[in-house]
Chains A and B, each alone.
Chain A
Amino acid sequence: MDHFQRFREISANPGRYAEEWKKKTGGKVVGHLCSYTPVELIVAAGALPFRILSSGAQIAQADGYLQAYCCGLVRGVLEDALAGRLAFLDGTVFPHTCDTIQRLSDIWRMNIGGFHADVILPVKLDTESAAEYMLAVLQRFKADLEAGLGVTLSEAALGEAIRICNRGRKGLERLYALRRKRPDAIAGSDLHAVFRAALVMDRAELADALEKLADMLESRAPQAAPPVKRLVLSGGLCSMPDIYQVVESSGGRVVWDDFCTGARYFEGLVDENGAPLAAIAQRYRQRVVCPAKHAGIHNRGQYLVDKVKSYQADGVIFLLLKFCDPHAFDYPYMKAMLDKENIPSMLFEIEDQISSEGQLRTRCEAFLEML
């Protein structure tokens, strides 16, 4: 039996999953950009949090709204929305992250419609006033959701949503831990499919499915595996192409990543004993930051060096989405910090998913050979 089949189906067509979920439950689907969306509140509202990623379809209509120097993720999701491929969404949430997402929110509000919430989070996360503001932002988001979806979010429902989301995070962390220990225990592409599905699935269903999957994979006897090069991926790949196949066929195994559609999504649990909103705010302030946020000037570089060391990685591949400013600004210093520790790294810029694959394969093979 293929334990990944269900995840693969959802990953291949997340929209269909959302439509079926709607039909089955009669609930609402709330789309969102970025890992700073407090999904617990959406879950507590009885709605399905749906992380919007680009389908990768040809850009046609979005050209009338966004210039060509806008990143592929944002152009792609706007194209999907304009083409009606996201018609199942009852609303969309835009957390404040980068300049581009900020403008996408405006363009979306004026041209797509539906329930619209801006979650205007602080950009600096390391001060007391920012902490206070962050909590106030969550309180406002709660009120916006209640008004927009016509529900009331009780403390009990929030507590339950936190527990469910934490279970999902733990499940993902177990898969990452297993892969770290035994890189061949789970294929990168399978984990990729699990992750893509995890970003859109009903969180209770997801938590159950992940627990089952992790139990099964952990119980399998380890097989003798040829030595591999252990890699950490870093960069801004919000659009999530499946680069794992490329890495693996070149003889590499990914043991960690610093993606918002990866480790950053599940790292750190929300305290289940605290006041719900304060606990959610706390997690966002303590979690490793996205480069559009500020928590000190060496935060991300140090995180990367630490992960490479503690997970005994042989090298780092930086994957940068073209036109992603926050990541592009961080790359030189993060590379310099790796250089200082004699950790080899490689940079690959991704313009769009399809044309990049061949090039990436060549570069990846050369890099792994060098390691």
Chain B
Amino acid sequence: MPTYEKIIDSDKERRKIKADRRMREIMTAYYMEAKTPKEQRGKKIAWITSGGPVEPLHVMDVIPIYPENYGAMIGASKMGVDLCEKAEEMGYARDLCSYARADIASATVNGGPIGGLPEPDMLICCNNICGTVLKWYEVQARYFNVPLFILDTPITHTTFNDEMRRYVTRQSAEYIRFLEKACGRRFDYDRMAEVGALSIRAQELWQAILDTTMSKPSPMTCFDAFFHLAMIVTLRGTQTCVDYYEMLLAEMKERVAQGIGMLPVEKYRLVWDNLPIWYRLRWLSNKFMERSACLVADTYTSGWVSQMPSVSSTDFLGFMGESYARIFLNSGTDLMAENIIRMVKKYDADGVVFHSNRSCKPYSFGQYDIQKILRKKLGIPTLMIEADMVDERSFSESQIETRIDAFIEMMKK
């Protein structure tokens, strides 16, 4: 049996991130507004995929609601199994994405966290994250009988070419026309410029926050990033999001200046790949913490920062399609491996933890190749955790703990 450093945690309070409280307030207010009855609310509601272009919705004063964010809430509140089983009773195979199953089921019952999501007036689906969202949003378009817009973003296996660029740019214009029709009024291009600038500013701030973990000790872990991520996903394009991230960044910088790390002892620095295991965040966080292993970065939360070097804050719409098409998950496995290599170097990591996520095939298939590439190019140890982001039935605690131990042993060598 390996021996672990006894955790001396007298200054646990000092290490806590203070901005957390504000974050909870903002998210509560956001859901409160969305859950206000339609007549009092005035604003329309759009359900949108996590990688979808939310900025034009803010321009049109449409409240964006993220079933995937809700899926994470379902997972974190351990309601996933119940809802997944309900979807299976409805005829959806158990092998389907657990976000989709949980959301499809919760739409039909008055249950789930916050008593369910407010009904959509329209659906916005961008397939840059997977083909699953297309099928999932088709299901919801039939169920709610509301218009569905699909932003079809061709994958960059090796290169993003001119015809792809033209296709996604033309769709940006179609999206605006769709919104004008759904909302019954003209699109405000001046406001788009403002919202676009706010979105880009928020992305920069988010990246700067994530980059504070280059410091040793790291002021936060990816488990904290998973929490603070909700803002960039749901509210990018708003002043609220920019203000919050400015506050969070200031706190992170202060922690760095004072040498406050998230872990009492930081011996190993790791990169996480794939979605979080929402129902076991605390357990996993503790397991790594007890072993002095700090997950300093992850491929997931950095996915909300545009990879486009030339993104322009004055012509947001002109770049929007390409920017959304070229997220790392919509690229070839070898490009995804390069992304991880860059992260390992940037954050000076000693190893990589892969979550092989039954729910997310495009994220998970190819991970074995990425492992091989990392071994060859960096010679660092990797860990593969077989699980699911929401469906707890696919989680084997003892097996995973054993693997974590073996992995830490490898890093000691």
Contact = CB atoms under 8 A, between A and B. Distances in A.
Nearest to A332: B91
Contacts of B155: 96, 102, 120
Interface in B136-171: 136, 138-139, 141-142, 148, 150, 152, 154-155, 157-158, 161, 163-164, 166-167, 170-171
B356 A325 contact: no
Interface in B95-126: 95-97, 100
A127 interface: yes
Contact of B157 (A69, A105, A136, A347): A105
A67 interface: yes
Interface stretch (A19-27, A48-56, A81-89, A289-297): A289-297
A292 B131 CA distance: 7
Given A133-B163, A133-B166, A292-B131, A297 B141 contact: yes
Contacts of B150: 123-124, 294
A122 B131 contact: no
Interface stretch (A106-114, A152-160, A280-288): A106-114
B366 A107 contact: yes
Nearest to A129: B170
Contacts of B148: 297
Contacts of B161: 140
Contacts of B282: none
B239 interface: no
Interface string B362-401: 1011111100000000000000001000000000000000
A132 B174 CA distance: 14
B134 interface: yes
Contacts of A137: 163
A323 B95 CA distance: 6
B334 interface: yes
Contacts of A291: 135
A20 to B, nearest CB: 33
Interface residues of A, number: 51
A66 B365 contact: yes
A330 interface: yes
Contacts of B365: 66-67, 70, 99-100, 103-104, 107
A211 to B, nearest CB: 38
Interface in B298-333: 332-333
A326 B92 CA distance: 11
Contacts of A98: 131
A96 B154 CA distance: 9
A107 B157 contact: no
Nearest to A96: B155
B127 A120 contact: no
Interface in B34-52: none
B132 interface: yes
Contact of A123 (B92, B131, B141): B131
Contacts of B100: 329
A99 B333 contact: no
B284 interface: no
Nearest to A69: B358
A103 B157 CA distance: 9
Most buried by B among A99, A123, A133, A330: A99
Contacts of A70: 361, 365
A64 interface: yes
Nearest to B150: A124
A325 B364 CA distance: 14
A349 interface: yes
Nearest to B360: A99
Given A137-B163, A332-B91, A294 B368 contact: no
Q: How large is the interface on B (under 10, 10 to 19, 20 to 34, 35 or more residues)?
A: 35 or more
Given A122-B154, A140-B163, A294 B138 contact: yes
B247 interface: no
A123 B134 CA distance: 9
A331 interface: yes
- Chain A: interface secondary structure? helix
A326 B66 CA distance: 21
A357 interface: no
A36 to B, nearest CB: 13
B250 interface: no
Given A132-B167, A292-B131, A325-B361, A106 B366 contact: yes
Nearest to B148: A297
A331 B139 CA distance: 11
Contact of A297 (B131, B142, B333, B367): B142
Nearest to B336: A106
Nearest to A127: B174
Contacts of A323: 95
A139 to B, nearest CB: 8
A322 interface: yes
A130 B152 contact: yes
Nearest to B135: A329
Given A100-B365, A130-B167, A122 B135 contact: no
Contacts of B91: 331-332, 335, 347
A117 to B, nearest CB: 10
Most buried by A among B90, B135, B142, B332: B135
Nearest to A320: B93
Interface string B53-95: 0000000000000000000000000000000000000111101
B193 interface: no
Most buried by B among A111, A325, A329: A329
Contact of A332 (B92, B97, B166): B92
Contacts of B183: none
A332 to B, nearest CB: 4
Contacts of A123: 127, 131, 134, 150, 152
A328 B96 CA distance: 7
A99 B130 contact: yes
A70 B360 CA distance: 11
B254 to A, nearest CB: 42
A120 B142 contact: no
B205 to A, nearest CB: 31
Nearest to B359: A69
Contacts of A329: 92, 96, 100, 132, 135-136, 138-139
Given A69-B358, A106-B369, A130-B152, A294 B364 contact: no
10 contacts: A66-B368, A67-B365, A102-B131, A122-B167, A123-B134, A124-B150, A132-B170, A326-B131, A329-B132, A329-B135
Interface of B: 90-93, 95-97, 100, 127, 130-132, 134-136, 138-139, 141-142, 148, 150, 152, 154-155, 157-158, 161, 163-164, 166-167, 170-171, 174, 332-334, 356, 358, 361-362, 364-369, 386
Given A107-B366, A109-B334, 9 more contacts: A65-B368, A67-B386, A99-B365, A320-B93, A322-B93, A322-B95, A325-B131, A329-B136, A331-B93
